[in-house]
Amino acid sequence: MAEFTFRGEETIHCKILGKTKTISLHAKNLVVIGACMKEGGLEYSAKISHNKKGMSVELAFDHVLSPGEKILQITFKGVIGEKLMGWYKSAYTVDGEKRYMATTQFEQIGAREVFPCIDDPSAKAVFVISLRIPKNLTAISNTIEAATEEDGVYKVITFAPTPKMATYALAFIVGEFEYIREKTPSGIIVRIFVTPGKKSQAHFALDTAVKLLPLYEKYFGIQYPLPVLDLIAIPDFDAGAMENWGAITAREVALLVDEKQTSSANKQWVATVIAHELTHMWFGNLVTMKWWDDLWLNEGFASYMEYVGVDSLFPEWNIWEQFAVLDHNRALGLDGLEHTHPIQAHITDVEKVGELFDAVSYSKGASIIQMLVDYIGEKDFRAGIHYYLTKHAYGNAETTDLWQDLEKISGKELEKMMGIYTKKPGYPLVIVSCKGDMLYLSQVRFFNSFLSRKKVKDTTLWSIPLHVASSQNKRESFLFDIRSTTIPFTSYWIKLNAGETSFTRIVYDSLLYERLEQPIQEKRISSIDRMGVLRDVFDSAESGYLPTDRALYLTSMYGNETSYIVWANLTSKLNVVGNLLSETDFLSAFEEYAHSIFIEVGKKVGWEKKQSDVHEDILLRALVLSSLGRYKDIPTIKRAKELFQKIVTQGRNTVDTDIRGVVYALIAESGGEEEFVALQKMYVAEDLATEKNRLGSALCLFEDPVLIGRALNFSLTSDVRSQDIGRFIMGVFGNKRGKRIAWEFVTKHWDMLLVKMEGLGMDWIIEGASEVVSENLLSDITLFFAKHPHPKLEKTMKQVLEQIASNIAWLKRDGEAIEKYLTKRV
C-alpha cells in the first residue's frame, strides 16, 4: 500500500481438453513472473510471453500437456494505478490527513489487470480470495471473512468461496473503513462501509438495502445465495455504482445520505441505485449474459426493476411516472438517431464493448420490458423470470433464452414480437389522421433528424401493442402490426399509446391535435399522457412532421399544469428549443416567451416548503425556480441572491437542501467574478460529495467566457477528483455560451482525458457536443473526429455529428416561423 503495487499468487484448477503445449490467459498491465503446471506429481514450468497488444499472456511448456484435470500455479505483480479501472487508489481524508485506499473496478475487462484469468462473462468459476494487507487496514471482498492469520506487520484474510461466477463481478477493496450492519429476516448480513467519520450518512442506504433484499428474493422467488451483502462508498469512482456480487461499490453521492444535506432528488437517486445494483445480484451475477452483446439482459432488467423496488419501498414517490421521463424518453432520444444500435448488438471486439453501456441497453431495455410486462401481465412476467433465473442459475443466457422461457410460461408468442425491438435499431412512429368517422393509422421508423429520415430507407414493421384513451372514455387495446390500417372512429378526441407503456411515438393530424387541447387543459387525460403528447409534438417537429410553432402553441395549453413529470418534460423541451436559438438574434423573444410559461406555476410553488408538499412538489419547486431564474425572472433572481448571502454569512445549513442547488445555479447565471470566487472557495472547502456536485454544476453556468474557461481549468486541478472532470465539461457544453469553449478544452486535453476517462467517461463527454448548433463548429468537430479515430468512441462520434447536423437543419427550416410566432405573440 505504501508503494501502490501488489504481488499475487494464483492457483487455477483446470481441465485440459486436448493435448497442448501452450495456454493463453487474459492479462493486461501485469507482469507474470512464473507459471507452472502440476500433473501427476510432476511440475512443468512455462516460458512466459506477454502478448504484444497487451491483453493476454501465453504460457509455453516444453512438455506436451495431456488431457485431464491439472493445477496451474502463477505468480505475478502489478500496480495500483490512478485511472478508475482494474485495481486503483482512491483518496480520502482522516483528521485533515490525505490517505489512500485500494479498490477495484473490473467490469468490463479490469480483472485481467489484477490477475491472469479467462476474463469473459461465460467463463465462470468459484473463487477463493486471500488478501495479505497491513494489519491496521480492512479488506472487503465478495463473500464473508472465513479466516484471519497474523503475519508480522501484515494479516492474511481469507474469504469464504464465492458462488460460481464471472470475473467482472469480483472485488478486492483495502483501506480504512467503518461500517454499520443489520440482518435480513433470513439472516443475511447487510453492511454499509464508509471511510472514517461518515457512518452517520450510511443509515438510509442500510435501511433501503435491508428491506429490498428480501423484497427481491420474494419477487424473483430465489434466495440471495451469499451470507453477506456489502455496499461500499468509494470516494473516486467512474460510473455510479458497480454490482460486484456481495460487494457493491458506489460513488459516495450514490450511496450516502445526510438527512440535512442531501436533496430529495439525490435521495431518490440513492434508492434507485441500490435497487438497480441489488437486481444485478440475480440479473447479471446469478444469470449472466453469454457475451457482452446481450448486455441488456443485465442492464435493461436492472433499469426496470429499480422502479419495482423503489415503488415498493417509497410508494409516495410515485416513481413509475418518472420512469417515463428518466428512462422511456431518454431511450426514445438516443434510439431516434440513425447511428443508434440494436439492443442485441454484434460486437466481437472487447475494446468496443464500452459503447454498449448507453441508453439503448439500459433505458430502451427497461422500456421494452415495461411494454412486455404490460402485454403479458405481471403474474406471468414474474413466473417467467423465475423460471428463466432458475433454469440458467450460475450459468449464462442469451436473449433468445429469455423469450423462450417467457413464452413457455405465458403461452404467448413473444420472440417474434419482442425480437424486432431487440434485433433492429430504432422504433416506430404511428401517424394518425381522421376523416369523417374513420381513423387512419400507419407506422414508419422514427428519426430525430429529418435529414436521417430522408436518407435511411427502413422498412421494419413493428408489432405495437396500443392502448387507446378517447372521449368515449373506454380504454381499448389492440396490436398494430401492419404498415397501415383504417379503423372506425366515433369519438371526438383520441390519445394513442395511453399510459405510454409501448416503445413508440404518436403524431396526429391538426384536427386531432386541436381536439386534444381541451382534454389537456382540463386534465381529462392522465399526466403521463399529457406528457407523452407534448414530448412527441416537439420531437416530431424536429423530425419535420410538424412545424415547431405548432409545438410552441401547444405548450400554451399547459398553463394549469400541476404534474411534475409534465413540467420536467416541458422544461427539457424548452431547453432544447432555447439551445437551438442560442445564437440567433431572437433568443430574448424566446426567453420572454418561456418566462411567461413558468410565471403561474412559479406563484403556486413558491420558495418555501409547504406542509402539504409531496415528493413531486419538492422536485417541481426546484425545477420551476431554476427555469424562472434561467429566463431572467427578476424577483426569483433577487431572492436567490438574498439566500446566497445568507449561506455566505451564516453557513449553508440556513438554506433548505432542496433549493440550495437552485440558489447556486441562479447566482452563477446572473453573477460575475465575485460569485465565481465564492462558489469555488466553497467547492474546495466542501467534503460532502452531494454539496460539491451542486457547487461544481453552478461553476459551469457563468455567462462570462473567461469564467467559463476558469471553471474548466479548475476541473483539472487537484481540488477536483478525476471522476468529476466530465461533469464540468458536460456542464459547460450545456451553457449556451460555453459550447465552443468546452469543445476547445476537450481538443486541447484530448490525450490526457482519454487516459483519465478510460472507463465509461469519455463518450459522455463528447456527447455534450450534441448540443452544438453552429456550422463552423460542426466542421471543426468533424475534422477533429476524423483525425482522432478511437474504437471506443466511433459510434458516439457519429451520433454527435448526426445530432448537430439535425440541430442546424432544424433551425434553418423552422427558425423564421419560430421567430414569427414569438414576435407575433409579443
Residues that bind Zn ion (CB under 5 A): 299, 302
Residue 241 CB, nearest approach to Zn ion (Å)? 8
Question: Looking at residue 111, what DSSP letter applies?
Answer: G
Question: Which residues are within 8 A (CB) of 297 and not within 5 positions of it... i.e. 6 or more apart?
Answer: 283, 284, 287, 289, 397, 398, 399, 402
Question: Which residues are within 8 A (CB) of 745 and not within 5 positions of it... i.e. 6 or more apart?
Answer: 709, 712, 729, 732
Residue 686 CB, nearest approach to Zn ion (Å)? 28
Q: In which residue are the cell numbers 486436448 written?
A: 18
Residue 56 CB, nearest approach to Zn ion (Å)? 27
Cβ proximity of 421 and 368 under 8 Å: yes
Closer Cβ to Zn ion, 56 or 298, answer by number: 298
Closer Cβ to Zn ion, 299 or 561, answer by number: 299
Cβ proximity of 9 and 42 under 8 Å: no
Question: Looking at residue 254, what DSSP letter applies?
Answer: G
Residue 421 CB, nearest approach to Zn ion (Å)? 20
240: closest CA among 24, 84, 96? 84
Residue 306 CB, nearest approach to Zn ion (Å)? 9
- What whole-number distance in Å separates Cα of residue 433 and Cα of residue 435? 7
Cβ proximity of 473 and 524 under 8 Å: no
Closer Cβ to Zn ion, 175 or 309, answer by number: 309
Residue 427 CB, nearest approach to Zn ion (Å)? 22
Closer Cβ to Zn ion, 293 or 299, answer by number: 299
Residue 273 CB, nearest approach to Zn ion (Å)? 9
Considering the candidates 107, 113, 277, 802, report the single residue annotated as catalytic. Answer: 277
Closer Cβ to Zn ion, 258 or 299, answer by number: 299
Question: Looking at residue 421, what DSSP letter applies?
Answer: H
Partners of 104 in beta bridges: 87
HSE of 616, CA atoms in CB hemisphere, 13 A: 16
Give the 3-state secondary structure of residue 447: coil
157: closest CA among 196, 116, 195, 128? 128
- What whole-number distance in Å separates Cα of residue 516 and Cα of residue 441? 17
Question: Looking at residue 85, what DSSP letter applies?
Answer: S
Cβ proximity of 299 and 362 under 8 Å: yes
Give the 3-state secondary structure of residue 15: strand
Residue 211 CB, nearest approach to Zn ion (Å)? 20
- What whole-number distance in Å separates Cα of residue 669 and Cα of residue 698? 8
Q: In which residue are the cell numbers 423496488 written?
A: 309
Closer Cβ to Zn ion, 323 or 462, answer by number: 323
Q: Read off the C-alpha cell for 446.
A: 422514427
Closer Cβ to Zn ion, 195 or 322, answer by number: 322
Give the 3-state secondary structure of residue 309: helix
Closer Cβ to Zn ion, 48 or 297, answer by number: 297
Residue 796 CB, nearest approach to Zn ion (Å)? 19
Give the 3-state secondary structure of residue 64: strand
277: annotated active-site residue: yes
Closer Cβ to Zn ion, 302 or 808, answer by number: 302
- What whole-number distance in Å separates Cα of residue 92 and Cα of residue 137? 14
Partners of 91 in beta bridges: 100
Partners of 216 in beta bridges: none
- What whole-number distance in Å separates Cα of residue 759 and Cα of residue 84? 7
H or E element in which residue 46 lies:
strand 42-50
Give the 3-state secondary structure of residue 824: helix
Task: Give the chain's end-to-end CA distance (angstroms, integer).
Answer: 67
Residue 297 CB, nearest approach to Zn ion (Å)? 11
Closer Cβ to Zn ion, 118 or 169, answer by number: 169
HSE of 495, CA atoms in CB hemisphere, 13 A: 29
- What whole-number distance in Å separates Cα of residue 600 and Cα of residue 483? 43
Give the catalytic positions in this structure.
Answer: 277
